[in-house]
């Protein structure tokens, strides 16, 4: 009798045993889908086995466009549906699946050394020597470098020097320059003219093929110690940089245009 009761109890427990596998809905950001979960004795809960999110980082917009296309191809997402690309000041990111996925591929842009040089020296006060070193570093971006460098290499302040802005006319129209009028101790008067700025064609990103013409304006003045100082100004630099980012976003759009539902953002 006792043995019979034990068998009945064991059968009852077997019948009441929790299922090892269950199918449950998983809710994404926009939709839901069913996934299979397995019971974990250690966790005392149902879990799902998923691979770790991929961690990819690229440094150029060309590599970024390539990894977007390849990732969507691997996911068999022919239209880029519910995938998002963002291009911003620092680079950007790509989320292959905005609905369920947690993967995020980063684009950490590497600006060219010439671009960094311009950006970090705008609104900086320089001595004449520092300014000439700045010009030397910008040599690859200045077409008429020899002429530009020669224009400022002899810049000096001697005796009682007065710096004035003096518009001058050239064959191309009206330009502007600085006139340095000075009087030496022996009574000799003199005047020299220096351009108030110059153009630089600067590559935006390393391994990139886009160059942007930047107008660099100069401000000459004396500091509190009566030494010549020069400031580099570029009021339009922010607009040029924004245009460069927009151009990168347009490049990504062009390279991924076959994915008609892919969202590409220019985020400032």
Q: 220 near 207, Cβ under 8 Å?
A: no
Please provide residue 138's backbone torsions phi and psi, each rounded to the nearest 5 degrees: -85, 5
Tokens found for residue 112: 């060219």
- The predicted pLDDT at position 252 comes to 92
Query: Which of 136, 179, 189 is closest to 159 using CA atoms?
Result: 189
Helix or strand holding residue 7 (H, E): helix 2-15
C-beta neighbour count of 91 within 10 angstroms: 22
Question: Closest by alpha carbon to 95, among 266, 268, 267, 262?
Answer: 262
DSSP 8-class letter at 4: H
User: To the nearest 5 percent, what fractions of the chain are helix, strand and coil?
Assistant: 30, 35, 35
**How far, in Å, CA of 156 to CA of 257, rounded?**
56
pLDDT, mean of each 10-residue run, the chain (268 residues): 60 56 64 64 63 74 94 92 90 88 87 96 92 96 92 66 46 51 52 79 92 92 79 94 92 93 85
68: buried, middle or exposed (CB in 10 Å: 19+, 13-18, 0-12)?
buried
Question: Mapping DSSP to helix (H, G, I), strand (E, B) and coil, where does residue 152 land?
Answer: helix
Query: Under DSSP, is residue 46 helix (H, G, I), strand (E, B) or coil?
Result: strand
Per-residue pLDDT, 169: 38
In degrees and rounded to multiples of 5, residue 122 shows phi and psi of -65, 135
CA distance 162 to 178: 10
Phi, psi for residue 80 in degrees, rounded to 5 = 75, 20
264 forms beta bridges with 85
Give dist(CA 18, CA 24) in Å, integer: 15
What confidence score (pLDDT) does residue 76 get? 92
Q: How far apart are CA 179 and CA 158, in angstroms?
A: 13
Buried/exposed code over 27-48 (b: 16+ C-beta within 10 A; e: otherwise): eeeeeeeeeebeeeeeeeebee
Confidence (pLDDT) at 121: 96
User: For the purposes of burial, counting CB atoms within 10 Å of the CB of 156, is it exposed (0-12), middle (13-18) or buried (19 or more)?
Assistant: exposed
């Amino acid at each position: 009798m006792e043995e019979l009761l034990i068998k009945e109890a064991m059968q009852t427990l077997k019948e009441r045993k929790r299922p090892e596998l269950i199918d449950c809905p998983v809710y994404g950001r926009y939709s839901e889908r069913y996934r299979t979960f397995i019971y974990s004795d250690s966790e005392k809960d149902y879990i799902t086995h998923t691979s770790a999110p991929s961690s990819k980082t690229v440094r150029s917009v060309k590599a970024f466009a390539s990894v977007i296309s390849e990732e969507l191809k691997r996911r068999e997402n022919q239209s880029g549906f519910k995938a998002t690309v963002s291009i911003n000041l620092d680079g950007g990111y790509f989320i292959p699946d905005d609905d369920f996925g947690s993967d995020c591929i980063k684009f950490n842009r590497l600006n060219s050394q010439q671009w960094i040089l311009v950006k970090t020296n705008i609104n900086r006060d320089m001595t004449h020597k520092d300014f000439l070193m700045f010009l030397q570093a910008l040599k690859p971006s200045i077409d008429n470098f020899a002429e530009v460098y020669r224009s400022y290499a002899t810049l000096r302040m001697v005796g009682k020097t007065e710096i004035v802005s003096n518009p001058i006319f050239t064959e191309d129209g009206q330009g502007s320059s600085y006139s340095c009028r000075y009087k030496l101790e022996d009574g000799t008067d003199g005047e020299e003219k220096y351009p108030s700025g110059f153009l630089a064609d600067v590559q935006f990103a390393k391994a990139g093929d886009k160059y942007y013409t930047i107008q660099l304006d100069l401000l000459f003045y004396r500091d509190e110690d009566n030494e010549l100082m020069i400031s580099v100004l570029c009021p339009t630099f922010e607009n040029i940089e924004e245009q460069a980012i927009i151009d990168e976003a347009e490049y990504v759009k062009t390279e991924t245009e076959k994915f008609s539902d892919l969202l590409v953002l220019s985020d400032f």
